[in-house]
Amino acid sequence: MARRIGMGGLAALSAVVLTACGSIPLPLPSLPSLPIIGRPSAPSAPIADRRIDLSGSCSQTEEDGFREQATLTVADNNVSALQWQLWVGRRGSCRFDLSTFQQTKRRPSIELSERNSSCKLMVWQDPRRVTLAHANCEAHCTPGIYEEAWPVMFDPQTGQCARNAR
């Protein structure tokens, strides 16, 4: 004869079943080793101390609507010209001009600090490209797009936009 379980008994039985399931070891699929966000998986190598000489002009539009126009002139790690504007689709843009910055570092990478601000522009070279990046420069951008404002990269041989820039 079947026995009826009341609501209190059903709740107790459910708790016992769930507790038992929690103690059964279940094999998990192996996942590739992924870095933890916010922590580098290994210490990054320092930027190589390279002489930077570049007469760069990069103007390109990506399929996703991101585009950039940048000119950068550097001789023996001294920046003499810099104008850079980038657009994050149709949502806004960022603009940088050398006239509001002063060069504060030449080696191992170039740093330009904006007067009366914590905004910095950085230039460094690896074998495949010269990178122009920014830090703490939200005021130069339309609100809400700064996190998507990528660096611009130049081919050190031609001065044009580097391939695979993003």
Beta bridge partners of 101: 114
Decide: 98 and 79 in contact? Cβ < 8 Å: yes
Task: Report pLDDT digits (tens) over 45-93.
Answer: 566 777 899 999 999 998 888 999 999 999 999 999 999 999 998 899 9
Task: Report pLDDT digits (tens) over 36-47.
Answer: 444 444 445 566
Who contacts 141 (Cβ-Cβ below 8 Å, separation ≥6)? Answer: 92, 93, 94, 149
Taking all residues of the chain, what is their mean pLDDT, rounded to a whole number? 79
pLDDT at 49: 73
pLDDT mean over 10-38: 45
Percent of the chain with pLDDT over 90: 53
pLDDT mean over 103-125: 94
Percent of the chain with pLDDT over 70: 69
* pLDDT band at 127; cut points 50, 70, 90: confident
Greater confidence, 26 or 153? 153
Task: Report pLDDT digits (tens) over 134-149.
Answer: 999 999 999 998 888 9
95 pLDDT exceeds 90? Answer: yes
Which residue ranges make up each domain of the chain? Answer: 54-154
Cα–Cα distances in angstroms (integers) from residue 39 to residues 35, 42, 44, 119, 122, in the given order: 7, 9, 11, 24, 22
28 pLDDT exceeds 80? Answer: no
